Chain A
């Protein structure tokens, strides 16, 4: 049924239905004379009208038979038959079930999640997360077996475990403190196993820790809380009052969970602390009474945790056992600041072992002013995961070098370093916030090691290739690549050059090695890109030529890298059509291997090219494609802040694309609305990563862009947003050019808020030396009615701009546009300098005569309107 047809039927039906039945035939004869099908449709509806069906009764009778709870007993869910309900919680109902295909009798627990309305999205996320959780195989962790959807309700199938909650078990068997501690260490081992795989439980509590009849613990629902949590991840919008919360048990939740902040392994350490506290003292560190947000906030985030021994009222053996070491262990696990807790569950478990063995524990009474070193505070999480591994490999290998081990062994070590540390660990670390410090350390340690080895390198080509690969990888982590990097471009170039120095002679010796060609081609491309960014065009050309000679479309990854480097270079040289072709080829190659970060980087370049070519519609297409990709492949972005920053940067795309230089304000309002939550979310993530200057600049730029959009849209928040951007970037940290961008952004916001004098004063320190600031000052004066001052500023702006025209396409175009605009404004202010108009029109010849952005056409038209 098409809506149009339906509308037609509707009109005739209502008119006919209003008539007494006797008159309907005549009416229909007339109304449907040309359309017998229409008549048949209407007649069928009119006939159906007289039928009575007991809808209300049927609904009522179904509701009568609706059981109060659950009610899925006996139903078939996937290949399972539901037996009986075994639990009900915040997320849904848990049933015991059995495989119904009769193949073998296997009991499972099925957790049926309450219906969610945005079905497709939830299911997609479910599948992705389930794959991660399915990798979690540990004898003390309940397995996730399966999942699916039943009657629109997602469900999870888990190993069915018979056991008692750990607190009940300890109480009923009257276990001694030592026995309880030993049992608890078993729990720690399981949690540690999951943490090493970057899976955080998020909802540890006694009812999730069962003890089986053989006395071994089994953890349930690992990672399930995350599965059910907000797909957008942690963000400022998730506060206590919202439901993300109702899924969890506030009794065992950490302060950061209560505040809706990023959840890490430290959150599990806290929850384990509450569980152990309860196991040892019989009471929790605090008792929530009415579970109001205010109470939870107060008790969990603020109230001091009483020493466990103080919970035991009468002087007893238990009190003596607890006071001292165990008090300290628990209070350390329960510290409010995640970074001051144990650094890993293993460390906590180890401290308990020390206590049991009569050794000194590392936990100390919390003293005023205690602070862990900055390094550990920032990198606790990453350290836990990778620290030991690096220490083992690096110190191990340094020793072996000293002892003169054989090349074969070194080869294996380099390979291990390259694969394990640089690939596996770095991929994991880059997904965590706050890991830059550790990544930097890792890179430094690895470089020290590789440099030592390179001095002494044998002629073994395989070892040299491995070594080069490791250098390239380090170069990518330092400052290149399509994923988050440390922003150390000079160092990155150096690493790539070291690698290429090893590879160059090998290329002559082993001309047939595909792996070698692939590695060198990408390496040359990256180095060329870095060289052209620093203005070394000659070497950039040379390297790119080498990359082009080595690369083949059969190797899509390196092919994409080389085309992309070529596209960037051509763009800088003003060869826009060529650049567009190269970046499209890069998009195709990246899509072929489903590599989102490369494809995104390439789409971004096509979008820039389209803008210069005055083809905004196609450019907008690229922005949309990139955005879809960023969203769809969100899980594959190596770092949450990166993904958000990318999306935030894209949000203003549609606004700009509409018209490069002179966007319309409605689009800006749209973009501002879209961008704010993204900018804020990326900032939240950045807080954990203050070390990463690149991330900081990205977030500050996001805010600056947002401020401009808000200002253009006329929103009063623009001033505050611009001020915040400046605050994020920090005083003194930014380069001069960057400072200029931020200050003019703020001035513009003040100007749009109706304070041109204030805006003018703000630009004063910059206006005498910076063209952009002079132009803006002129515009502000114009608004104030000071036409002659405006003319002076515009003239200064043109004078300052002249020598800065560079080869870079972007700057060339913006300079031409800005200067033409400057002239237009000067003419408006009444500037009578001869030849101005001709000069401006000459400048605009940079832009294509046809198909240029609307703003250019408008500018040309406005200029032609002046008589001189």
Chain B
């Protein structure tokens, strides 16, 4: 009976996370629609609450979302780290899509031929910066996927160094180094494209 009970308690999210971590790529496809709405809600309402402090710390919220979706009594840290990785990716999709839509709505404006910092200084250019970041990440992932993942998790998922390290199974110091060089490369990429 004990075994049956524990099966009953497992939610689709935790089962799918487990299958995904076991190498079942299709599980990710099934998982995405379940968590998408919840993440969209987070992206829309919670990130902005954090904005006052100019820091992105939505992982407390991601954690809340995870507990809600995975419906687990005890936290399974492997699954949680995986979930965060997925969440960061979906957050990126959601936010970048929206940024692109905003940008296409006001197409024609924008600052050309300005130094990089000034080009993205005005609030109206913020969505351009997000789109630029996304383009840069796509390019970066072509030859260094891990660095792109680090940036995705840190920026879009708002994950801490420790959480990122945990999700990617690398040390925190490595995360720091990866991030440093990735940021440098992205800025260089953006200045080249401006």
- Asked whether any CB of chain A lies closer than 8 Å to the CB of B102, the reply is yes
Q: Could you tell me the distance between the alpha carbons of A58 and B131 in the complex, rounded to whole angstroms?
A: 10
Residues A49 and B129 in contact, CB atoms below 8 Å apart? no
List, in ascending order, chain B residues with CB within 8 A of A55's CB.
Answer: 129, 133, 155
List, in ascending order, chain B residues with CB within 8 A of A867's CB.
Answer: none
List, in ascending order, chain A residues with CB within 8 A of B116's CB.
Answer: 51, 53
List, in ascending order, chain B residues with CB within 8 A of A14's CB.
Answer: 177, 181
List, in ascending order, chain A residues with CB within 8 A of B32's CB.
Answer: 114-117
Q: Could you tell me the distance between the alpha carbons of A785 and B130 in the complex, rounded to whole angstroms?
A: 73
Find B54's partner among A46, A53, A57, A153 (CB 8 Å cutoff).
Answer: A57
Q: Could you tell me the distance between the alpha carbons of A45 and B94 in the complex, rounded to whole angstroms?
A: 29
Q: Could you tell me the distance between the alpha carbons of A663 and B91 in the complex, rounded to whole angstroms?
A: 47
Residues B180 and A246 in contact, CB atoms below 8 Å apart? no
- Asked whether any CB of chain B lies closer than 8 Å to the CB of A509, the reply is no
List A1-17 residues whose CB lies under 8 Å from chain B.
1-3, 6, 10, 13-14, 17
List, in ascending order, chain B residues with CB within 8 A of A244's CB.
Answer: 30
CB distance from A415 to the nearest CB of B (A): 46
- Asked whether any CB of chain A lies closer than 8 Å to the CB of B5, the reply is no
- Asked whether any CB of chain A lies closer than 8 Å to the CB of B44, the reply is yes
Residues B102 and A65 in contact, CB atoms below 8 Å apart? yes
Find A151's partner among B97, B120, B143, B177 (CB 8 Å cutoff).
Answer: B97
List B144-184 residues whose CB lies under 8 Å from chain A.
144, 155-156, 177, 180-181, 183-184
**Contact status of A60 and B56, CB under 8 A, knowing A51-B117, A54-B126, A55-B133:** yes
Mark each residue of chain B from 91 to 135: 1 if its CB lies under 8 Å from any CB of chain A, else 0.
001110111111011000000000011001101001101100100
Q: Could you tell me the distance between the alpha carbons of A67 and B40 in the complex, rounded to whole angstroms?
A: 9
Q: Could you tell me the distance between the alpha carbons of A116 and B32 in the complex, rounded to whole angstroms?
A: 7
**Contact status of A66 and B94, CB under 8 A, knowing A17-B180, A116-B29:** yes
Residues A118 and B47 in contact, CB atoms below 8 Å apart? no
Residues B155 and A152 in contact, CB atoms below 8 Å apart? no
- Asked whether any CB of chain A lies closer than 8 Å to the CB of B70, the reply is no
What residue of chain B has the Cβ atom nearest to residue A294's Cβ?
B8
**Contact status of A57 and B126, CB under 8 A, knowing A64-B48, A67-B44, A242-B30:** yes
List, in ascending order, chain A residues with CB within 8 A of B26's CB.
Answer: 118, 230, 232
Q: Could you tell me the distance between the alpha carbons of A36 and B184 in the complex, rounded to whole angstroms?
A: 20
List, in ascending order, chain A residues with CB within 8 A of B133's CB.
Answer: 55, 58
Find B126's partner among A2, A6, A61, A90 (CB 8 Å cutoff).
Answer: A61
- Asked whether any CB of chain B lies closer than 8 Å to the CB of A632, the reply is no
- Asked whether any CB of chain A lies closer than 8 Å to the CB of B69, the reply is no
Q: How many interface contacts (CB-CB < 8 Å) are there between A and B?
A: 156
- Asked whether any CB of chain B lies closer than 8 Å to the CB of A176, the reply is no
Mark each residue of chain A from 280 to 313: 1 if its CB lies under 8 Å from any CB of chain B, else 0.
0000000000000010000000000000000000
List, in ascending order, chain A residues with CB within 8 A of B101's CB.
Answer: 71-72, 75, 151
CB distance from A85 to the nearest CB of B (A): 14
List, in ascending order, chain B residues with CB within 8 A of A152's CB.
Answer: 93, 97
List B31-50 residues whose CB lies under 8 Å from chain A.
31-34, 36, 40-41, 43-45, 47-48, 50
CB distance from A28 to the nearest CB of B (A): 15
- Asked whether any CB of chain A lies closer than 8 Å to the CB of B67, the reply is no
Q: Which residues of B contact A (CB under 8 A)?
A: 8, 11-12, 15-16, 25-26, 28-34, 36, 40-41, 43-45, 47-48, 50-51, 54-56, 90, 93-95, 97-102, 104-105, 116-117, 120-121, 123, 126-127, 129-130, 133, 142-144, 155-156, 177, 180-181, 183-185, 187-188, 190-191
The 28 listed contacts between A and B (C-beta, < 8 Å) are: A13-B181, A46-B184, A51-B117, A51-B191, A52-B117, A53-B116, A54-B121, A55-B129, A55-B155, A56-B54, A57-B54, A58-B120, A59-B156, A60-B48, A61-B123, A62-B98, A62-B126, A63-B48, A64-B47, A74-B105, A75-B101, A75-B105, A115-B32, A115-B36, A151-B100, A230-B26, A241-B11, A243-B30
> Can you list the 5 inter-chain pairs with the closest CB atoms, starting with the nearest?
A48-B188, A63-B47, A48-B187, A58-B126, A58-B129
Q: Which residues of A contact B (CB under 8 A)?
A: 1-3, 6, 10, 13-14, 17, 44-49, 51-68, 71-72, 74-76, 90, 114-118, 122, 151-153, 230, 232, 241-244, 246, 294
